[in-house]
Amino acid sequence: MTTLRYQTAGESHGPGLVVILEGVPAGLPLEEAWIDAVLSRRQKGPGRSKRQQIERDAARVLGGRLAGRTIGAPIALLIENRDATAERLPVPPVPRPGHADLAGAQKYGTRDLRAVIERASARETAARCAAGAVALRVLEALGVEVMAHVRAIAGIEAKGDPLAAGARARRDASPFFSLDPSADARFDEAIRAAEADGDSLGGEFEVVATGVPPGLGGYATRDDRLDGRLGAALLSIPAVRGVEIGLGFEAARRRGSEVHDAITHDARAPFGGFRRATNRAGGIEGGMSNGEPIVVRGAMKPIPTLRRGLASVDLATRAPAPATYQRSDVCAVPAVSVVAECAVAFEVARAMLEKLGGDTIDDVRAALDAYAKRLGSL
């Protein structure tokens, strides 16, 4: 079976975004409505730009599916852009601080910032979410759930336990995808104030994966390590500047006795009964899942496109000039949490399929059952 992987193509204001996804087992139910629900969540949240009112992100499955189920072949997905104006948009004369504009122009030796902006745009994450939606479908078939929620915006914290009963319903009911209704009003107030000032806001998100068996990933090589793969996946999302797993940076401020998780055994627990008394490791030890929920957090910087215009330099004249303003979000933390959910789902699904193998989803389920039985005899 081919390793689970994907590639995307397309520009922000081009005809559309394309995803080629390989390694999905045959026999998996896959409907456009499932993918579109994830794409719709990515477009939501107060503080988004008017682009979200133009686009109605929807995926078309162009290959790899027959009669509503995957067939083991590469899956081709298309997300068409309604705002397909790339060839008519003006070339900005001034690069925007915090974006790829100047570094990209230097890399490719061009003053055509449009050629950089179109691909570097976070619009590309819609394609990642389409791939992640398929991965979420794979995990659902294997009894694994992944959920992201917003923990903070502009330093305002949202409380809530993502493992508590009803957490997903609370997350979905929040316009900010938080677990704390009392924080939502403060989030909204902060976003309105930043918008009035021509500014932007960042924040923090958390992704939790439950039902993950132990032993995914590995320690033999650096490429095997699940924590490294998750970190790379999240840091590749535009504007994400920090990632931590479990206690993360807090672990550096504690003694070892306050960091590491004691091992217990409960014969009623799945996958052989071995558990951890706490989950400070965030479900990963030695580069591998340990059977506890995987807990990953990320920090998103404020979007650097500001109406007030940050100081920059005109590429042609080299004279000081305010950065060009283009339609942009004031806050996209809720949207980034959805992208992060998809990124974590993809890496966990990839690790599961590497561990279990199988050409069909039934083969993978049978391998998972056999693995759970073997763990019981350890």
Instruction: Look at phi and psi of residue 215 and say left if phi exceeds 0, alpha if psi is from -120 to 50, else beta.
Output: left
In tens, the pLDDT along 261-274 reads 999 999 998 999 99
DSSP-assigned beta bridge partners for residue 263: 276
What pLDDT was estimated at residue 87? 82
Q: What is the rounded CA–CA span in Å between residue 353 and residue 374?
A: 17
What pTM was estimated for this model as a whole?
0.95
Average pLDDT over residues 125-139: 98
Q: What is the rounded CA–CA span in Å between residue 132 and residue 343?
A: 6
Which CATH number does 90-376 carry? 3.60.150.10
Give the start-end residues of each E strand in 231-283: 240-245, 263-265, 274-276
Cβ partners under 8 Å of residue 357, min gap 6: 1, 363, 364, 367
Q: What is the rounded CA–CA span in Å between residue 345 and residue 74?
A: 19
Instruction: Say if residues 207 and 147 touch (Cβ distance below 8 Å).
Output: yes
Q: What is the rounded CA–CA span in Å between residue 7 and residue 15?
A: 17
Question: Residue 138 has which token pair?
Answer: 């794979």
In tens, the pLDDT along 214-237 reads 999 999 999 999 999 999 999 999
What pLDDT was estimated at residue 53? 60
Is the pLDDT confidence value at 238 over 90? Answer: yes
In tens, the pLDDT along 16-39 reads 999 999 999 999 999 999 999 999
Is the pLDDT confidence value at 54 over 90? Answer: no
Flag the least confident range among 175-189, 199-213, 321-335.
321-335
Domain ranges of the chain: 90-376
Flag the least confident range among 46-55, 120-129, 324-333.
46-55
